[in-house]
A and B are shown apart, each in its own frame.
Chain A
Amino acid sequence: MATVRFEGAGKRFGGVDALVDLHLDIEDGELAVLVGPSGSGKTTALRLLAGLESITSGHVWIGDKQVDALPPRDRDIAMVFQDYALYPQMTVYKNLAFGLRMRKVAPGDIDGQVLTAAKTLGLEDLLERRPRELSGGQRQRVALGRALVRQPQVFLMDEPLSNLDAKLRTQTRVEIARIQREFGITTVYVTHDQIEAMTLGRRVAVMRDGRLQQFDSPKGLYDRPANLFVASFIGSPAMNITEGSLEHAGDGLAIAFGDHRLAVGRPESRPDDGIGAYAGRKVLLGIRPEAMADASLALGTPEDRRMTVRVELREDVGSDVYAYFEGGPPVSNPGLAESPTGDDDEAGGNRRRTFVARLSPQSKAREGDAIQIAINDRALFFFDPDTGVRIG
């Protein structure tokens, strides 16, 4: 078991900075997730750690060994590839045994270790099959088994679930979490799926354009996003973002955006904020869809924490009701994550203009209705319009 440390690690491909000055400390036995949109440098970071790519600047440590110059086989790591990379001509048994044989494990011990790993993953009945005779899910488990069997210091996984269907993906995710906990092997897990990242990671590193944005627990990312990018990348549906101006209101502040105005509260009730300094200026405002409630179901919300809106579209998915309405003006800020789910390119433009609220299924709001939305003061996020850094 070992810690993993990136110390200002960087990688250039020709003229492209794939990874810039990455500092990351992963604890012994921790499952850390690297998440970010395509091209953000997640795979590059993982391959630097594996030794499959040479480092351009900085250092990588595994345990107390600086491994920059070590070939992959001397780093005591195991990796699960996106395409599994099983040896096609070998049986499952031989696939699992290959790494042990290459490391000159005594033949007598190989059998025991392979069988133990096979048992952990339920592969006992498949040992004599070849990869082509397995389903996608089974291949995936063989790939996990091949990593597990050597009991390495560090597990590396690059989008290991992306070739599975949705149901299997959830199952395997749980399985990976279980095995990781059971064996306590330090794991670095790469994905572009924020749900996967949030459910699996003890801590999650959000990447963008080769730069680390934030490394924190899932709750930390959700409650205290460092900047506009993390805020808009984490959460589904994505956070509503608009532009507004912070104004003095009595002895507190208020945010005005579109046709709406909400009380922000006294500066002393938001002690970790820097928003006092932004009074009288334009800021970016973020509100999570799930932080909004149908005011008729949230009695007692003060008047200045409500906004009246006209419901343009109601989507009832059973457990929740999604209400779309005109929020504030659209924002096109370079710090914004692009449609993180990636599946609503066309709606994306609209979504920017329209707010979405996740309401209780009891909400009676219908399309065309004017309703009141109640918003908790703590659910308002503020960002510097130039830097995208969260200010409150």
Chain B
Amino acid sequence: MTGRGDRAVNYVILASFSLIALYPVAGIVLAAFQPPGSAAGGFSLPSELHLANFAEAWTQGHFASYLRSSLIVAVSVVFVSTLVSIMSGYAFGTMTFAGNKVLFYLFLLGLMVPLEGLVIPLYFDLRALSLTDTYWALILPQIGLSVAFGTFWMRAFFLATPRSLIEAAAIDGARRWSILWRVLVPFARPAVLTMMVLIFMWTWNEFLLALVMVSSESLRTAPLGLAFFQGQHVSDVTLLAAGAVIVALPVVVVYIFLQRHFIRGMISGSVVG
């Protein structure tokens, strides 16, 4: 086979998978731009771009409030879990201490048990602490879940980091704290950013926890708000589509914004020798 032929086959395969993945997304985006009220099922290009659906959804659906709640929750979760994950990943990835194996498996457990299995007992626990129907009820459990993943992720990265880098810094006089923040974290930036995007995305899209923990409308997060919004406007497809786009947009923006960074980082910093 010639390289050219191989390439063509690769492209065909990739293109068809992209189509499968993009079809429903594109359908929703296109629907959002249809004239308001049109029952545009399926896949038709709007005759002109109608932005009215977005304005309508924004005001009717209280999305400003939902996005604000989501932002508060997601940013706190991302910030705290990133900090904690970097430190615990560093410990598990570069140090040996009593019980490190057992402790690590304990962390993994947090990764393996699905939230569905935890959410009800969690509700009672938090209620005992009078934390239900507050942001804490959304933030604290998600920090816990994200740190399980983040520890696993950062540990893998630090394990793969050349040991000589750590040793060189130790000989240069750096203590553990400086080794982590001055040498390893700058080196790990692509991995850290990727982790932050993933945690942001998962936190942003979390539905079940918000549904169980929060009853005040002012605390509703975007996906939960969207669900209520859909309940009220079952038949208005274009409005629902606009709402969905509004909720999904921040994740896409964050991804696009950070993607440039982590791709550049991945190319540059990974090889020492």
Contacts and interface: CB of A to CB of B under 8 A. Distances in A.
Interface stretch (B14-22, B171-179, B229-237): B171-179
B78 to A, nearest CB: 22
Contact of A102 (B173, B186, B269): B173
17 contacts: A52-B171, A72-B170, A72-B171, A73-B175, A78-B172, A79-B168, A83-B272, A85-B162, A87-B187, A88-B268, A89-B187, A99-B173, A102-B169, A102-B178, A132-B268, A132-B271, A163-B273
Contacts, number: 78
- With most chain B CB atoms within 10 A of its CB, the pick from A102, A103, A146 is A102
A234 B175 CA distance: 42
Nearest to B182: A98
A83 B272 CA distance: 7
B170 A73 contact: yes
Contacts of B122: none
A139 to B, nearest CB: 8
B169 A87 contact: yes
A149 B108 CA distance: 44
B181 to A, nearest CB: 12
A244 interface: no
Nearest to A75: B171
A110 interface: no
Interface in B146-177: 162, 164-165, 167-175
Interface in A8-56: 50, 52
A169 to B, nearest CB: 15
B169 A98 contact: yes
Contacts of A132: 268-269, 271
Give 4 nearest A-B pairs by CB, closest first. A102-B173, A99-B172, A85-B164, A83-B273
Count class of interface residues, chain A: 20 to 34
A50 B169 CA distance: 12
Contacts of A89: 186-187, 189, 269
A81 B164 CA distance: 7
Interface of B: 162, 164-165, 167-175, 178, 182-183, 186-187, 189, 268-269, 271-273
Nearest to B170: A72
Given A83-B162, A88-B187, A77 B171 contact: yes
Given A131-B272, A132-B268, A132-B271, A87 B174 contact: no
A71 interface: yes
Contacts of B187: 87-89
Contacts of B168: 79, 81, 85-87, 146
A86 B167 CA distance: 11
A76 to B, nearest CB: 9
Nearest to A149: B172
Given A73-B172, A73-B173, A88 B167 contact: no
A140 to B, nearest CB: 10
A87 B165 contact: yes
B96 to A, nearest CB: 11
B193 to A, nearest CB: 13
A324 interface: no
